[in-house]
Chain A
């Protein structure tokens, strides 16, 4: 029992850290890349995360939204969020300018099993905005390229104007240590890459299933089709990893909104192995 009636909360996991927007890049009509810097020196210096983890992005007066971190864990001092204008909170973020202050809480959840993946080939498959969380993993692999075997990246978007990070991928296409294949559902005259859904690209790649880990991120309808292709290539269900998007409102396993089967996406995921996902009702 404490005597005082009003308690000041020393540690409050719901309290966002004031964070400055240090750069904004327009990626597409609806997506922007925000570079953020936590203002408090100590918090910023101790902020560590794994690829695949997310933060709660907080704009007081509007609300919070869970956003995957797109930058690599090795990039210190700043984090990047790739955000589509989809609701009130992301809409409010899109109207912010460089130098404005927002809030973040986190990082939360379980990311990709990077230590397990090291020493193996890696196949990464992204659809649409699913490239945002995978971008962190791609950048991390890039930073520690010698730790991984063959790296294959398949990325599909609806049309050329919706391809995210195109400037970077256009450069990577010329590198021989990444196999990168881009595809769009509907091409235009500017498009020189593949056309068709991302699953079609599996005919074009060679996978040594015994030594490959894979990660998939995209719209819910994509998972089953991509996983079918991976299974056809002989990949084990516990080496395929998926990242789920649910309504992670609190981020800390309390509010209940992100329940998937018997687990919570925010603390048990958002990254699950396909074996785990198979055991989650209504997950895929």
Chain B
């Protein structure tokens, strides 16, 4: 990786330049929160945001998407094209970039998902450093740092950005649209100092030792019943999660009943019918079993395949949960016990 330094006053040049070639999407204010939205004017970009309501997964794996149009008579696909315009996703935090890398394992590993892949391959990622909030726990999984998965990454040094350049395209875009300079020792030192300050500003260090094993050892713990009693099965946790990828598939017929669309929509393992089969069997009827499954899958199921936990510690689910269930609380409950 190589590095450049860019004065913060140059930021609008970069955004305007990128907008000439791409649709630019980044954090913008919405009421008192933030969302990833289209950037028409560099002044709309809110790079000092805490976190967005929805994670950037919506740009690669939309809440609803048409998979194919079909003809009923001969059960034939009419078209399965995917719209994937060239886009820049500007101002993504390390947790969310890591979230995309975790999604890549599912959608771009065995049996590549062509819809996700088309958008992923047509999106330039510009990351930006952040300040931990009191719900952030990315430090627990190491997702507070990001080493790949971006084209350009901007680390905020106050008056300037320490710019990490990961891809050829990132280098070209930087060269084409904004004035930068070589890094000096003072810049590297300021970068290190910023990193230390960042690492030191988390409100807690979560103990995650032996977590996958504890999930099995405490599978019948009453803690799950307590969580199940509180959970409202609303699925908000999965909706706002940057790594929840489950979906449902629905066919919709046109009024003429001759053609239609097969669509997919975000789904949630917290919904009661999620594990029901046609013969009437439902493998997760109780709320407790569903809450447990969410954690079991994220911290053991996914890990058993990809050696990473399917959580980036963004804290969105904790903020979204009306029952105030937070992954930090669940991890702490699992870790409690033994001789201190």
Does A pair with B?
yes
B246→A253 contact, CB < 8 A: no
A103→B75 contact, CB < 8 A: yes
A267→B110 contact, CB < 8 A: yes
B249→A250 contact, CB < 8 A: yes
A5→B83 contact, CB < 8 A: yes
A261→B301 contact, CB < 8 A: yes
B86 at the interface (CB under 8 A from A): yes
Q: How many residues of B contact A (CB 8 A)?
A: 63
B82→A90 contact, CB < 8 A: no
A11→B112 contact, CB < 8 A: yes
Knowing A1-B121, A103-B75, A281-B219, the reply to whether A9 touches B82 (Cβ < 8 A) is yes
A62→B68 contact, CB < 8 A: no
B297 at the interface (CB under 8 A from A): yes
A249 at the interface (CB under 8 A from B): yes
Give the most central of A13, A16, A61, A102: most B CB within 10 Å: A61
Chain B residues with Cβ below 8 Å from A267 are 110
B249→A64 contact, CB < 8 A: yes
**Interchain CA distance A9-B281 in the complex, whole Å:** 36
Q: Which of the segments B132-140, B190-198, B272-280, B330-338 contacts the partner chain? A: B272-280
B260→A247 contact, CB < 8 A: no
In the complex, per-residue mask of A248-263: 1 if CB is within 8 Å of any chain B CB, else 0? 0110111111011111
The secondary structure that dominates the A interface is: loop
In the complex, per-residue mask of A36-65: 1 if CB is within 8 Å of any chain B CB, else 0? 000000000000000000000011111111
A2 at the interface (CB under 8 A from B): yes
Among A63, A65, A246, which residue has its beta carbon within 8 angstroms of that of B283? A246
- State the Cβ distance, B309 to closest chain A Cβ, in Å: 12
A6 at the interface (CB under 8 A from B): yes
Chain A residues with Cβ below 8 Å from B289 are 282
A162 at the interface (CB under 8 A from B): no
Knowing A13-B112, A60-B75, A65-B278, the reply to whether A259 touches B269 (Cβ < 8 A) is yes
The contact sample of 19 A-B pairs, CB cut-off 8 A, is A6-B81, A8-B80, A13-B111, A14-B67, A14-B68, A15-B80, A19-B75, A64-B249, A101-B75, A245-B279, A247-B274, A249-B248, A249-B249, A255-B247, A255-B249, A259-B297, A262-B297, A262-B301, A282-B289
Give residues in B with beta carbon < 8 Å to A: 67-68, 70-72, 74-77, 79-86, 106-107, 110-115, 118, 121-122, 124, 169, 216, 219, 245-251, 253, 257, 260, 262, 264, 267, 269, 274-281, 283-284, 289, 293, 296-297, 300-301, 304
Besides the known contacts A9-B80, A14-B114, 19 further A-B residue pairs in the complex with CB atoms under 8 A apart: A5-B85, A7-B84, A9-B115, A9-B118, A12-B80, A12-B114, A14-B68, A58-B75, A61-B257, A61-B260, A247-B275, A249-B248, A250-B247, A253-B110, A253-B111, A255-B264, A257-B248, A257-B274, A281-B216
